[in-house]
Amino acid sequence: MSATGTTGIGRPGSAASGTGTIGASTEARNLQWLLGNLVEEVPGIHSVAVVSSDGLLLLSSDPEQRQVTVARQGPRGSSADLATIVSGIGSLTIGAARLMEGGGVKQTMVAMEEGSVFVMSISDGSLLGVHATPDCDMSVVAYHMALFVGRAGHVLTPEVRSALRQSMEAVQ
């Protein structure tokens, strides 16, 4: 793993997956690979964050660098900012759903003049957040997020979250 804590994107277990996944469980590597594919396949994405139910940034992606980053504690720019926003939006919409007796929140989308933020539930309170360009195809972003959630939902177990947290501690 480089000093910046980044991991190249590639198929899990392949040479292209980078050295940052060495020692990580197969499931953690698969989750990193799925996140990388989301960024690679969907045009218009600025950044992506996977946030645990307690607001901890587990994984993030920077599409300009085409790398998946194992998050570190403390403010680190757009990934940390996106994680904070995703966690806050998640909390707000869960509270609103309870007040309105609307059931579980599946997806939230905030459209702004200069971009969009999408938040989707993964499992056990974990969230997937995407910050996209203003000209992105929102239906394509939402569709690919749903695919990610469907594929990653069973992978993001307490054991995998623990492995991701250990990876974060290792890069500090």
- Give the tens place of pLDDT for each residue, 101-130: 999 999 999 999 999 999 999 988 899 999
In-domain check, residue 45:
yes
What sign for the dihedral angle of Cα 21, 27, 30, 31?
negative
In-domain check, residue 74:
yes
In-domain check, residue 132:
yes
How many domains are there within the chain?
A: 1
Q: Report pLDDT for 29.
A: 80
Regions of the chain where pLDDT drops below 70: 1-24, 62-78, 168-172
Q: Report pLDDT for 14.
A: 34
In-domain check, residue 36:
yes
What CATH number has the domain bearing residue 19?
3.30.450.30
Amino acid in the structure at residue 92:
L
**Contact at 8 Å (CB) between 27 and 50?**
no
In-domain check, residue 148:
yes
In-domain check, residue 1:
no
Place of tokens 């990934």: 79
Residues 6+ apart with CB under 8 A from 51: 57, 58, 83, 86, 87, 90, 126, 127, 128, 129
Q: Report pLDDT for 88.
A: 95
Q: Report pLDDT for 99.
A: 96
Burial of 75 per CB tally in 10 Å (0-12, 13-18, 19+): exposed
Q: How far is CA 53 from CA 18, 70, 77, in A?
A: 28, 17, 21
Residue ranges making up the domain that contains 69 = 6-171
Using the 8-state DSSP alphabet, how is residue 20 labeled? G
Q: Which two tokens stand for residue 160?
A: 């995998």
Q: Report pLDDT for 18.
A: 34
